[in-house]
Amino acid sequence: MKGLQVEIKRALRDPQLRVAMERFVSINTAARSQAYTEVDLQEIQERVRAMKEKALENLPELFARFKEEARRAGAAVFEAASAEDANRYILELAVRHGVRLAVKSKSMVSEETGLNRRLAEAGIRVVETDLGEWIVQLAGERPSHMVAPAIHKTREEVADLFSQVTGQPLSGAESSELVQVARRELRRIFLEAGMGITGANIAIAESGTLVLVTNEGNGRLVTLLPRLQVALVGYEKLVGTWEEAATILRILARGATGQKISSYVSLITGAVPSLEGYRQLHIVFLDNGRDQMRQDLRYREALYCIRCGACLSVCPPYRSVGGHVYGHIYVGGIGSILTAFYHGMEAAAPSLDLCIGCRACVEVCPAAIDAPRMIVDLRGDRVEQEGLPATRRWILRDVLRNRDRFHRALMAASWAQLPLTRGGPLIRHLPLFFSSQNKWRSLPAIALRPLRRRWTGERVPEGEVQARVAFYSGCLIDFAYPEMGEAVARVLRKEGLAVSFPLGQTCCGIPALYLGDRETACELAQQNIAALEEAGADYVITACPTCSMALRHEFHRLLAGDPVWEARAKAIAARAYDFSEFLVKVLGREGSERARGLEGRRGTYHDPCHLKRGLGVYDEPRELLVDKGLKLVEMMDSDTCCGFGGSYSLSYPGISRDILERKLKNLEATGAEVVATDCPGCVLQLRGGLDKKGKSIQVRHTAEILAEGLG
Amino acid sequence: MREGFGKTAWTLTELCTLFREEAQRVGAVVQEAGNWEDAFRYIIELAKARGVSLVAISQSSLPHYQELVQRLAQEGIQAVLPGEAPAQGLRRALTEAGMGISGADLGIAESGTLVLVRGDGRDRLVTALPPLHVALFSAHQLVHTLADAMVILKGWGDGYPPAHISLITGPSRTADIETALVIGVHGPKEVHILILKEREGKEED
Ligand code: SF4
């Protein structure tokens, strides 16, 4: 883990990398968003998922069909169980045909197997022909992005590398001149090469056809010039039909570069006669952990990935540190999952920790792959295999699980901090719960009187009781922001609801779950379910979207397999709502007395990740705020993570801070006096950052704003 | 086999317009030609303008290619035909040709895409190696979507798909250096598409 921290620091301090990443992200994101407006993404996601699921379910049959058809069309098909099997087959083939030089069109699978190195050891030179891959190869590096491998390199660095190839100085050259150098140099190599190596974007079973996509045209030259053709294909690339291939093509380029279709799509069935007449095509299918992934239904959906890279540009940690920090060929959230299966848990462990859980990737993925969920599951598997580090184990198992001990520890912390807070609402040097603190963000004081001490009995409305609700506060509201809980109660009472605070409630367990401690998370889920059942309310209301997500989605997932507990968890889930969602969806807005109070104030809204992408709630708080009179000015990327991520901001403060910086820039650009949001964690992060910068912009929970002026 | 052609809610004129818009958007030059003669004239003008003295022609995808060869010869432009040249000379000629000329078997209107089916690897190289690619096809070969094209391609020859189908959309491009779009990496830097309004000769039907 030390290595990872060092890599992160280096990346965060690399000014060129930062400029390059920002440029790439803004251009790529704009192009993709535009391209996505032309399609019904949700419909495509459903179609791709159903299609991929069917293909994986029938994979042995699909492969058998592919093999038969491809052989009939004159190709050789080889089944490689491991990376070494694949490399050996290709090496022997090259040796048999006296190949000295091979050209390769981008193939991630070949990087996965380390093919270049293996062939080089035998004296066979492999030249990458995708421009980005060639740059990375010349630099002796790894690709940092699956679609744009060399985005981390500046033009000057590329010019240096190319100068070494040509022997001519190229400094100051424009990108277009550098591209011409590549065209010239690689053209010679294409014409000399004895073997062409490609991957495949799709393999169509019904006709034994490989589909190869490029923009530069190198894929066509690699498959048309050398006499000997090798395609290295992961089994997950198989689909049944040409129509299914069309579905993938339709979204692949849109997700990758915002094009409707890539410049070149080659559909290759068998050996194609070319310059010197008939040639050979060898198709090598690689398993290397794929079947294990396919068989484990928790991870099967990782095989839906079509490698479009859409998830990378929207991944806040990736955006901050780039691809190299992930340590292996497959980068980003999906990459760390693939690495876990292709290269083993140990190889994947550091990169699994990099996910902040914001779920931005799920939203843009053409297959809506739930990478964050799988990452949490893998962390859990890892803890089951290796156990927890000692301190973490003590905090999670001995403190967090024991409600009284946990709460006493928090209270002790609140007294311990006294001399430092000087009575101010924000303190500058204090442990956030149990960890050491960072200089870039002020933290809230732990409340001297937490919500659970303030709240006795049921808070009843003035008139008739319309319904009874139990408030599930979560730790942050309970111990750091009790005023948010008070605000929720005031608003709900005004709506005619009786609101109780079940004292048996405790931490939702998400922090434990995200650290891989499923056992503690299960235990806490049960404690909370029991406490909420006991309250006997009609609804359970939360004002922390992470807690809402826990109640709605995680508890029953965690307890699945135990029919009694699962049913109890589902019963709670059916009654659980996040605050603004409840007000709009359940209580409705008609005849509401909520309106008024904020007339003329300029405000903006920050979407908490788990509210928008965990619960699908984003219009509701806006409607409520506008009703209240707020003049809403949207900020850019309002639904991009603020960088909090709970303990993430303590484990990876550098990344957390960098993400926050981007958020604050967008926020300040709106000129808003107040930022509303619906998550105490986001409030902590945003307030902390603004306070450190000496900005007077207010950060308020929507509930606090709505409660203004209510008795 | 060709029954699917033209059977779409879109009129040919609409498909033509859509194709042109989309192909132009990705940097192709699209021109309508009333007949073959117009098309040949365009090609010759273009070759002269670019100083091209050697062209490669994918004869198996292009009807009337012999006429084109003659017309080019009259202008002093030499043509190499992959189907006729010996392998060794061909490799050289293809890399030296300043222009590659081919037909297209389908045009996909929604994305401005050329679909090349007939011919073999040598025909594809005509469209891959020279810096300039000129493609000709008749308006009635336009289909609306990629999915429409896939259905036709799949059943192209007795259920055996052709060995190497190329879908080409605009010139070769990259954004691998500093995310700056540059046209013309390994494939053609220029793509000119001529859409013939006149239906192809009888030999096709
Ligand atoms: S996970 Fe989804 S978005 Fe990311 S590369 Fe794979 S298919 Fe594309």
Of the pLDDT bands very low, low, confident and very high (cuts 50, 70, 90), residue A118 is: very high
Asked if A559 and A565 touch (Cβ cutoff 8 Å), the reply is yes
Tell me which residue has tokens 């030259």. A221
**pLDDT, average across residues A540-561:** 96
- B17, amino acid identity: T
Point out the least confidently predicted range of A195-209, A213-227, B1-15, B44-58. B1-15
* A525 CA from centroid of ligand 1 (Å): 31
- Give every CB contact of residue B181 below 8 A, 6+ residues apart in sequence: B173, B174, B175
- Whether B177 sits inside 8 A of A179 (CB atoms) is yes
- Whether B113 sits inside 8 A of A261 (CB atoms) is yes
d(CA A246, CA B82): 31
A567: how many CB neighbours lie within 10 A of its CB? 11
Asked if B43 and B68 touch (Cβ cutoff 8 Å), the reply is yes
For the cut 50, the answer to whether the pLDDT of residue B203 exceeds it is no
- Mean pLDDT (chain A) is 91
- pLDDT tens for A578-615 read 999 999 999 986 656 665 666 778 999 999 999 999 99
Between A180, A183, A270, which is nearest B163 by CB? A270
Buried b / exposed e across A192-228, counting CB within 10 Å, b at 16+? Answer: ebbbbbbbbbbbbbbbbbbbbbbbbbbbbbbbbbbbb
Half-sphere exposure of A408 (CA within 13 A, CB side): 7
* B7 CA from centroid of ligand 1 (Å): 36
- A12, amino acid identity: L
Strand order of the β-sheet with A497-500 is A497-500, A467-472, A539-542, A576-578
pTM over 0.80: yes
Residue of B nearest to A185 (CA): B186
Half-sphere exposure of B49 (CA within 13 A, CB side): 7
- pLDDT tens for B62-119 read 988 999 999 999 999 999 998 787 777 788 889 999 999 999 999 999 999 999 999 9
Q: What radius of gyration do chain B's Cα atoms show?
A: 16
- Mean pLDDT (chain B) is 89
Domains located in chain A, CATH noted: 2-290 (3.40.50.10420), 602-707 (3.40.50)
Q: Is A367 in the pocket of ligand 1 (CB under 6 A)?
A: yes
d(CA A418, CA A146): 50
Which of A48, A52, A334, A373 to mutate for ligand 1's pocket (most ligand atoms within 8 Å of CB)? A334
Residue of B nearest to A192 (CA): B91
Residue of A nearest to B84 (CA): A275
**pLDDT, average across residues A620-630:** 92
B144 inside 8 A of chain A by CB: no
Tell me the CATH number for domain B12-199: 3.40.50.10420
* Domain coordinates in residue numbering, chain B: 12-199
B91 inside 8 A of chain A by CB: yes
Point out the least confidently predicted range of A50-59, A281-290, B76-85. B76-85
Nearest to A201 by CA among A238, A230, A229, A226: A238
For the cut 80, the answer to whether the pLDDT of residue A400 exceeds it is yes
- pLDDT tens for A265-281 read 999 999 888 887 778 99
**pLDDT, average across residues A504-511:** 93
Q: Which two tokens stand for residue A151?
A: 């985005």
Of the pLDDT bands very low, low, confident and very high (cuts 50, 70, 90), residue A636 is: very high
Q: Is A308 in the pocket of ligand 1 (CB under 6 A)?
A: yes
Kindly tell me the number of DSSP H helices and DSSP E strands found in chain B. Answer: 6, 12
pLDDT at residue number A276: 76
- Whether B122 sits inside 8 A of A275 (CB atoms) is yes
d(CA B4, CA B143): 9
- Whether A191 sits inside 8 A of B91 (CB atoms) is yes
- Chain A residues with beta carbon closer than 8 angstroms to that of B150: 242-243, 245-246
Nearest to B22 by CA among B140, B122, B146: B146
The CA distance from B51 to the nearest CA of chain A, in Å, is: 19
